[in-house]
Amino acid sequence: MAVIAPFEALRPSAQFASQVASRPYDVLNREEAKTEAQGNPYSFLHITRSEIDLPEDVDIHSPEVYTKAKENLDAFLSRDVLFRENKACYYIYQLVMPAPAGSDGEGRSQTGLVAASSLDDYENDIIKKHEFTRPEKEQDRINHISTTGAQTGNVFLAYRSLEAIDTLISDWKTGRSPIYDFVAGDDIQHSIWIVNDDETISKITGLFAAHIPYTYIADGHHRAASAAKVRKNLGSAAHNSADYFLTTLFPSNQLYIMDYNRAVKDLNGLKNDSFMALVAAQFEIEAAGTKIVSPKQLHELGMFIAGKWYKLTAKQGTFSQDPIGVLDVTILSNNILDKILGIADQRTDKRIDFVGGIRGLGELEKRVNSGEMAVAFSLYPVSIDQLFDIADSGNVMPPKSTWFEPKLRDGLLTHTIFKA
């Protein structure tokens, strides 16, 4: 059963919360992070992407970057931008995402519980994974946590919803004011309530221990793996705070997964016509011209190449019905990325990049039309039930198969670890 615990969060003073809160470090590149933090000395990006405060010729993985992150964190504490909670608490985090502009649909809301989750659970597969990790991304966060002593990146966990937990969280919010409540620059409303009542804390811990056999990493495999390796590296010097890592747990009935698309830098030495002929052996191809292809069902993919869109439909025999084989990310991986383009390991191959659905399919066009990429693919999103089934089966998806929205903000709640 799932072991979670309250923790003494490092968090911003209320007047600074909206300025401190930043988008997750791993959805921004260096230039984007620098632009976003410009003019805002309170942005948590000064800690999570501290290279923005160093000369541009400094490598983003150099020791100077992690030392600067520690300096900036200490400065935030000394200036009372951040403070440490005086007791171990849980927190309720609600995100409200408006409907897209011009849409007749409604916005969506999701509410999770911010808690410290057990690294023993992570290592014993009580916390299920569905992706392999990339070594260089792990090492970046290992260095960051080790130097700063802070887990600044929140790991997004999912669990099969339980009415008793839903009710308890809803009841706690009712009639209580959030400690933070603001709308960020992307129009997402972020509201956080503190759960500091000992009896309620005990009830929450007990409900997870009694009724939630597994939790599932929805987003944050690298952050979780890094926390585990930091604990291992500390060895006997690890304080018991290092036995846990920062998580927000969301019930499955509130989650929404977006598409996670691919762009590839070259055609593996092939001319366009030869590449298209090889694709045609695996897929039915329908030309769409300049009309963006947003897949509407499983086994339907979009492809953008040489200024034109094509709808690809997987032929029989190109996929299996097992939990992994049926996924469109697997169909693309097996039949085009590996077989035709020679990309066998998407975790390490520098020729492929991943484009989250929140950026829109126009981003795929932009990347190809600029000449940066040769071809891009749009995918039908994975469902939460598919994610659970794959994790339960012990399999892993191809990397970057799921994109969750809305995203948690970094900096609002941080878990710190200490040496014994």
Instruction: Give the integer Cα–Cα distance in Å for 179 and 352.
Output: 42
192-225 pLDDT tens trace: 999 999 999 999 999 999 999 999 998 888 999 9
Instruction: Give the integer Cα–Cα distance in Å for 305 and 100.
Output: 27
| Segment among 179-193, 238-252, 304-318, 382-396 with least mean pLDDT | 382-396
- How far, CA to CA in Å, does 1 sit from each of 122, 203, 240, 392? 12, 15, 20, 14
156-181 pLDDT tens trace: 999 999 999 999 999 999 989 999 99
* Of 93, 408, 406, residue with least CA distance to 258: 406
CATH number at 259-404: 3.30.1760.10
pTM: 0.82
Query: pLDDT value at position 402?
Result: 80
Instruction: Give the integer Cα–Cα distance in Å for 388 and 323.
Output: 10
- Residue 273: count other Cβ atoms within 10 Å of its Cβ: 8
299-346 pLDDT tens trace: 999 999 999 999 999 998 888 888 888 889 899 999 999 999 999 988
Query: pLDDT value at position 103?
Result: 46
Instruction: Give Cα 420 distance to the centre of its chain.
Output: 31
53-99 pLDDT tens trace: 999 999 999 999 999 999 999 999 999 999 999 999 999 999 998 87
Could you state, in order of their start, the residue ranges of all structural domains in the chain? 86-256+406-416, 259-404
Selected residue with higher pLDDT from 399 and 229? 229
